Amino acid sequence: MTTAIEPTKKHRIDFIKIRVRRQDGPGKKPYWELHKLPYEPELNVISILQMIAAQATTSDGKKVAPVTWDCGCLEEVCGACTMVINGKVRQSCSALVDRLLEDNPDEIVLEPMRKFPVLRDLMVDRQRLFHALKRVEAWVPVDGYYDMGPGDKQSREAQESNYPLSQCMSCGCCVDACPQYLKIEVARLDGESDEAFEKRKLAEYEAGFVGPHAISQAILFNNNPTGKVLEGERLDALSGEGGIQICGNAQNCVAVCPKEIPLTTSIARAGRATTLHVIKQWFEK
């Protein structure tokens, strides 16, 4: 009888070793720490981090602060708990320990995402990811929220091609794996006000690559019957600084997307659309 995940009987172990890359704050030096937990079947990385938090002691018995990490739904729809596990960026809730041990029975290695500033330990600041959605105006510009009757009729085919794009949970796996998406970490200057720091940070983000997720969202909203009215603005954003021309077609994004969103298809469509858009603008000058 098939049960949930077969406990790995062949490498039956008594303890799980977890190596965590820790960092006490932005700009601080990262360090490694080893934790050891008694083996239980059917754990995931979240339950391991919960056990580490409750125990707050390293493998050599030293009392330490619990590891900091972000999580939310624990069922891979919110995107919060993304981190790098055994070298691969993914959600820690769906990272099942028995599977990880099948691949590497010696230890589980947890690291923060690589393209975002570390706030503490495994928790990173993904503001840039959400800011990119503003850059491409990823919304439907309705007149207002009063009752104006239903939206346009849409074919089942259109729904079936848009729905996968609308499942993007802004987790950041795609940008973590993208060789063209470079980390931007802006340190606060002495005496800088909240507003001034925020402004300087966003300006730096504006200059960086928007990322595959934002390009795909631009396509989603360009497909919407009302969202389409901002198509020009979105294509302007994608043909400007940090736009689609940065993409080097490595195709890592689509390989790591936990929702299997056809990101490279979106990028190809956006590429064609921006080219046409630029030529059209050139003729209209």
Smaller CB separation from another protein, 132 or 235: 132
| Token duo for residue 256 | 């790591």
* Residue 54 touching another protein (CB under 8 A): yes
Within residues 150-189, the interface with another protein by CB under 8 A covers 150-151, 153-156, 158-160, 162-163, 166-167, 169-170
Stretch that binds another protein, among 10-18, 47-55, 105-113, 178-186 (CB under 8 A): 47-55
Q: How far is the CB of 140 from another protein (least distance, A)?
A: 4
Smaller CB separation from another protein, 138 or 244: 138
* Residue 96 touching another protein (CB under 8 A): yes
Closest CA to 22 of 99, 83, 112: 112
Within residues 65-84, the interface with another protein by CB under 8 A covers 65-66, 68, 70-80
Q: How far is the CB of 230 from another protein (least distance, A)?
A: 10
* Residue 86 touching another protein (CB under 8 A): no
Q: Are 173 and 90 in contact (CB under 8 A)?
A: yes
Q: Are 258 and 94 in contact (CB under 8 A)?
A: yes
CA–CA separation, 180 and 193 (whole Å): 31
Residue-wise burial string across 154-193, b where 16 or more C-beta atoms lie within 10 A, e elsewhere:
eeeeeeeebebbeebbbbbbbbbbbebbeeeebeeeeeee
User: Which long-range contacts (C-beta less than 8 Å, at least 24 apart) are formed by 165-169?
Assistant: 165/216, 165/217, 165/219, 165/220, 165/223, 165/261, 165/262, 165/266, 166/220, 167/259, 167/261, 168/213, 168/216, 168/217, 168/259, 168/261, 169/77, 169/78, 169/79, 169/259
Stretch that binds another protein, among 108-116, 221-229, 264-272, 275-283 (CB under 8 A): 221-229
* Residue 145 touching another protein (CB under 8 A): yes
Smaller CB separation from another protein, 47 or 86: 47
Smaller CB separation from another protein, 58 or 245: 58
| Token duo for residue 203 | 């300006």
Selected binder of another protein within 34, 56, 203, 279 (CB under 8 A): 56
Within residues 111-130, the interface with another protein by CB under 8 A covers 119-120, 123, 125-126, 130
Selected binder of another protein within 18, 20, 35, 44 (CB under 8 A): 44
* Residue 34 touching another protein (CB under 8 A): no
Closest CA to 70 of 19, 129, 16, 126: 126
Q: How far is the CB of 17 from another protein (least distance, A)?
A: 19
* Residue 245 touching another protein (CB under 8 A): no
Within residues 13-32, the interface with another protein by CB under 8 A covers 24-25
